[in-house]
Amino acid sequence: MTTGAPLIARKIDGIIFDKDGTLFDFNATWNVWAVDTIRDLSGGEAELMARIALEIDFDLVAGRFNPQSPVIAGTNREAAECVGRALPGRSIEEIERILMLSAAEAPLAPAVPLAAFLDALAAEGIALGVMTNDTEYGARSHLRSAGVDDRFDFIAGFDSGHGAKPAPGPLLAFARHVSLSPERVVMVGDSTHDLLAGRAAGMQTVGVLTGLAKHEDLAPLADAVLPDIGHLPAWMIA
């Protein structure tokens, strides 16, 4: 008979992360990008800048998105449609491409040191994925810039063919890809879209506070709400 420390059971075998507001701090990354993009699209014309900011619910004076902005959890296409209402002379397709290319160059602010964090999870045999309502191009660009694109078993955007959150399709595609039952996967995100998708997929759900949603917004849909993804390892075995 052998003795030793008891094995610690963990709650999950796979994690699918949202990107913006989860892997990367939302305010530090996207507020700077939004100011620059509004200025570029408007040619610096003050009245046009104000119209674009109104359509995407961005506070130009404070330099930040308002929590209810449709851009926060929406797809790149939905963001382009919002901007397009302020730029009726330009096609949605043109705006969508401009947003995609500029977003891929956004200044990144990781929520935690990502490489070490992801390596520790992988060492525990955890399957890792990313699903964002950004484009797959943008997701891969950001993860590559952060030096962690090769840490993920699955990367998808709204345009990857699986659908967009809050629909469960892309989350279930991850579970199939890594051969896990949905109930052994946790969806980690900073918005109700993320958590609704996780619930619909039959997954566990964890909210993080590195986006714009508050604890009280996420708690009704989450098994736990954490300050940031760095607290996940402790939650997994609690």
Backbone angles phi, psi at 90, to 5 degrees: -120, 145
b/e sequence 27-64, b meaning 16+ C-beta within 10 Å: eebbbebbbebbeebbeeeeebbebbbebbebebeeeb
Q: For the chain, 238 residues long, give each residue's pLDDT as a single digit of tens.
A: 344 444 568 999 999 999 999 999 999 899 999 999 999 999 999 999 999 999 999 999 999 999 889 988 889 999 999 999 999 999 999 999 999 999 988 889 999 999 999 999 999 999 999 999 999 999 999 999 999 999 999 999 999 999 999 999 999 999 999 999 999 999 999 999 999 999 999 999 999 999 999 999 999 999 999 999 999 999 999 7
Asked if 70 and 181 sit in the same domain, the reply is: no
What is the CATH classification number for the domain harbouring 188? 3.40.50.1000
**Predicted pLDDT at 125:** 95
pLDDT at residue number 8? 66
**Per-residue confidence (pLDDT) for residue 5, from 0 to 100:** 44
In a domain? residue 2: no
Residues 133 and 223 in one domain: yes
Q: From 219, 135, 220, 169, select the one nearest 16 (Cα to Cα).
A: 169
- Do 74 and 128 lie in one domain? The reply is no
Domain residues for 134? Answer: 14-25+110-237
The whole-angstrom separation of Cα 52 and Cα 57 is 8
* Inside any domain, residue 142: yes
Last residue of some domain: 103, 130, 153? 103
